[in-house]
Amino acid sequence: MTANLKQTLRKNLFAIITISIAAIVLIAFLFFSDSIESIRKLPDGISWRWMLLALGIAAMNWVLEGFALNLICKLIYPQWRFRYSFCIGMVGILYSALTPFSTGGQPMQIYSMHKLGMDTGAAGSIIAVKTLIYQIIMVLYSLVMVVFRLGFFQRSVSNFSFITIIGLLCNSTFIGLVLLFCISERLTDKLLHKGIHLLHKLHLCRHPEERYEKIHSQLSVFHGSTRLMGKSLKMYALVIVVTVVQIGIGYLIPYCIYRSFGFHDTDPLTIMAAQAYVSMVSAFIPLPGASGGAEGSFLLFFNMFFTGGTVIPAMAIWRVITYYLNFPVGCICTYFANNRLPALKLPSRKGATMEEIANGYLPADEGRPSDEEN
C-alpha cells in the first residue's frame, strides 16, 4: 500500500506541485487583500441555502457523469452496474484534474474498466463516445452563449473576440480528432503501423508484428463497439439529454454563489454565459486543472457581477466546489474501483462479429455473470 502510494505521488509530482502552488496563491489572495473584509460587509451575510445548493449541484454533476457513462456501458455489457460507472466517472474527473489539458482521465478510466472485467477495446470505444458527446455539447453550449450574450460581453470584456475564437478552435480541434479516430478504422490502422514502426526504429519495441497484432485486435473491438453504438439512436439521445442537463446545472454553480452573496441584479443566463466562456478559455491552459488560467478567466468574466471586492472570495469558493472538491471524492472512488469492486465476468468481444455482439454474443464459459456482480 505504501509503495503504491509513493509511486502514485512520484508519477503525479508535477501536478501536485502545480495544484499546491495555485492553492497557496488563492489563499494568499484571500488573506492579503480586502476579500475577507468584503464578505463581512455584505448587508445580509452569506446565504447558506444558496451555498448548499451549489454543493448539491456539484454532487449531482458527479451522479450525472456516472449515469451518462452507465447508459453507454449497459448497451455493450448489460451486466454492468451503476456503482461501477459512478466510480469510473470519478476516476476520469480525478485524473483529468491532475494532468495537463485533462489528458489523463480517459486512459485511467480505460485501465480501471479493464480491471473490472471489460475488454480494453470496448472500454476505449465507450470512453471515446462519452468524451465526444460531452465535448460537442460543451462547444454547442459555448456557441449558443456566444450568440446569446455576444453584445454584452464584447462591451464588458477586453479582447473578448480573440479569447472566444481561440477557445472554440481548441475545443473543435479536439472534437475533430476524437471523431476521426472513432469513424476511420483505416486511418487508425495506418497510424498504428507508423507508430510501431517508429518505436521499432528507436529500439523501443522489440517485436513489432506481435505488438501490432495485439493492439490491432483491441482496436477491432474498439471500432466494432463504436459501430454498434452508432446504430443506437435511443442511447445517444438519452446520453445527450443527460449531458445537456449535466453541463447546464454545472454552469449554474457561479449563479448560486452570486445569490449566496446577496446579489440578484444579473439573470441566470448571463452568469451561465460567463461560465461557458471561462470553461472555453480554461480548455487551452496547459497546466493541471488549468491552474492560473481558470482563476484568471473567472476574474476577467465575473468581476463585473461580484462588486465591492467580492470577486476573489467568489472565485475561491467556485474553485473549491468545482475543482478541489473532486480530489477527496475522486480518490475514494479510484480506491474502490481498483481495490474494492469485484471484477465482473463480462463476455469477451474478441473474435466476435458485429452481428454476434448486437445479438448478445456470449462464449460458453462466460455465459453467466458472476455472483459478485449482483
**23-35 per-position pLDDT tens digit:** 777 676 666 655 5
Overall number of domains in the chain:
1
Q: Is the pLDDT of residue 357 over 70?
A: no
3 occurs within a structural domain: no
pLDDT bin (cut points 50, 70, 90) of residue 351 is: very low
For 90-100, what is the mean pLDDT? 91
325 occurs within a structural domain: yes
**Pair 294, 319: CB distance under 8 Å:** yes
27 occurs within a structural domain: no
294 occurs within a structural domain: yes
Quick one: pLDDT at residue 356?
A: 47
1 occurs within a structural domain: no
Quick one: pLDDT at residue 99?
A: 84
With a pLDDT cut of 70, the percent of the chain lying above it is: 73
369 occurs within a structural domain: no
10 occurs within a structural domain: no
371 occurs within a structural domain: no
C-alpha–C-alpha distance, residues 194 and 172, integer Å:
26
For 320-328, what is the mean pLDDT? 94
For 101-106, what is the mean pLDDT? 82
Domain that holds residue 242: 45-345
Q: Is the pLDDT of residue 306 over 60?
A: yes
